[in-house]
Amino acid sequence: MDGLCSDFLHRFLHHSIHFLAMADLVFSEHDGILTSTTDSPPIHYIVKLQSFSLLAKNNVDKYISGNFEAGGYKWKLVIYPNGNKAKNASDSLSLYLMIDKESFFHPGLEIHAVFKMFLLDQNKDNYLTFEGKARRFHKLKPEWGFDRLMPSKTFSDPSNGYLVNDGCMFGVEVYICKENNTRTKGESLMMMKDAISYKHSWKIESFSSLTDKPEESKPFHAGEQKWKIQLYPKGKGSGTGNNISLYLALADPTSLSSTSQIYVDFTLRIIDQINAKNYFGKANYWFSASNPACGWPRFVSQAYFNLPSNGLLVKDKCIVEAEVTIHGICDGL
């Protein structure tokens, strides 16, 4: 009997001490979170951080690990050394699991996964683990984890063993529960808060020798797309025969999906090389794979263009400029 009581008391004290250690852990998601300790290291990935304090001194808001594979998909660990401020967790350590965007080979793919986070206790040479309920990872929600994994004060106290000699170690295990590939159709529009304008200049020599075939500038970058300027020396459409036609076009419209659109504010100019009075047209347009170009079939009359005193054609040379501002991008879900 005394032996049984002694064993019970030993186990009671062991769990009481463990409970007191856990009391400092505060979670933003209370339901279903399990903490435990284990001697076994994580089987999928480990991130060892040395000189941890220098992350804060160098204004590293978050550290994103390299890719690792689990369950046939690529993942990353995301560590906020000073807490995720967007989640009001600046007094805590924040830790997340993020699926790599390349894993979403189809927009409708959803991956349900259970994951366990590991934090090495260097004093006891074991791992404190955190495990939540299954989470649904998809294109619009690629990241799940713990906003308040542990208070910063608890983590940084060397006597707790998590941050010792300014070094620490995290780990993760990921297990796939279910995969859905619904192929749901939809789209997502993102408007740019601080749109940036891009300029490209194109010089055309020996203009008088050009035929009625369209001339195209070399592709140039604006935003994440390549563009080109198209000029029709003898006109196009309603401008054929007596006008110069000028267009802005996607250099590779086939790179866009059928649901992708790009909202652009653009200006095309033919530079006045004498009077500094440029001839220009301005427009906004939703570019897409099915509507890859926009411009003016009657941009300027050939008579006005060819008149030397107007400065648009000087010594058989003209200069065309495009100014492109991307305001919005719509893509398929």
In the chain the domains, ranked by start, together with CATH numbers, are 25-181 (2.60.210.10), 188-332 (2.60.210.10)
Task: Compute the distance between CA of residue 180 and CA of residue 59 in angstroms, rounded to an integer.
Answer: 39
Model confidence band, residue 187 (pLDDT cutoffs 50, 70, 90): confident
Model confidence band, residue 105 (pLDDT cutoffs 50, 70, 90): low
User: Nearest 5 degrees, angle CA 258-CA 289-CA 240?
Assistant: 150
Put simply, whether the predicted model's pTM sits higher than 0.75 gets the answer no
Q: What is the pLDDT of residue 84?
A: 93
Helical H runs in 260-301?
A: none
Are 178 and 193 in contact by the 8 Å Cβ rule? The answer is no
8 three-class SS: helix
Task: Compute the distance between CA of residue 72 and CA of residue 75 in angstroms, rounded to an integer.
Answer: 10
Mean pLDDT (the chain) is 87
pLDDT tens, position by position, 211-230: 999 999 999 999 889 999 99
Q: What is the pLDDT of residue 126?
A: 96
More confident residue, 9 or 73: 73
Task: Compute the distance between CA of residue 69 and CA of residue 322 in angstroms, rounded to an integer.
Answer: 44
Q: What phi and psi values does residue 129 have, to the nearest 5 degrees?
A: -115, 150
CB atoms < 10 A from the CB of 4, how many?
8
CA-nearest of 114, 169, 129 to 25 is 129
